[in-house]
Amino acid sequence: MSRTQNTNSSNSSSNDNKESGPSASASKEDSFHSAIKALHAEQEGLRSDEPSLNGLELSSVRALIDYVAYTHKLNEVVICSLVEDYFGTDDIQKIHRNDFDKAVAYLVDLNPRAIIN
């Protein structure tokens, strides 16, 4: 088989595998736009203005509270009280969702002995 015939046969077989026509490109655009909308909706869900932390965020804050208490040999209640006082709430579950990063940073940088003593 000559080189030209080989190229032509490979082009025709690749064209057979592709959808053709305006309906194919419209369906690809529709699926692309629906995928983008789904990603956008998911992203908005993560950034929603819900008043309090979601379950995963709350678990993370509680784990950090336990870790800080353990490393500084204090009771978790003391660390939890410091966090609640810092955020002006009576319960860590009421920390605003937008303050999650601040709560993590506060706990990472917290030196409770400097505050308590």
Q: How far apart are CA 28 and CA 23, in angstroms?
A: 9
Q: What phi and psi values does residue 62 have, to the nearest 5 degrees? A: -65, -40
Over the chain (117 residues), the average pLDDT of each successive run of 10 is 50 50 67 72 57 91 96 94 94 92 95 82
Shared-domain flag, residues 64 and 110: yes
Shared-domain flag, residues 41 and 90: no
Q: State the pLDDT at residue 115.
A: 84
Q: Which domain holds residue 82?
A: 55-116
Q: State the pLDDT at residue 25.
A: 65
Q: Which of 88, 76, 62 is nearest to 112 (CA)?
A: 76
Q: State the pLDDT at residue 50.
A: 57
Q: State the pLDDT at residue 45.
A: 55
Q: State the pLDDT at residue 73.
A: 93
Q: State the pLDDT at residue 59.
A: 95
Shared-domain flag, residues 10 and 42: yes
String of DSSP letters for 27-95: HHHHHHHHHHHHHHHHHHHHT---SS--HHHHHHHHHHHHHHHHHTT--HHHHHHHHHHHHT-SSGGGS
Q: How many CB atoms lie within 10 A of CB 96?
A: 15
Shared-domain flag, residues 39 and 81: no
Residue type, 67: Y
Shared-domain flag, residues 72 and 94: yes
Q: State the pLDDT at residue 43.
A: 60
Shared-domain flag, residues 71 and 33: no
Shared-domain flag, residues 13 and 62: no
Number of domains making up the chain:
2
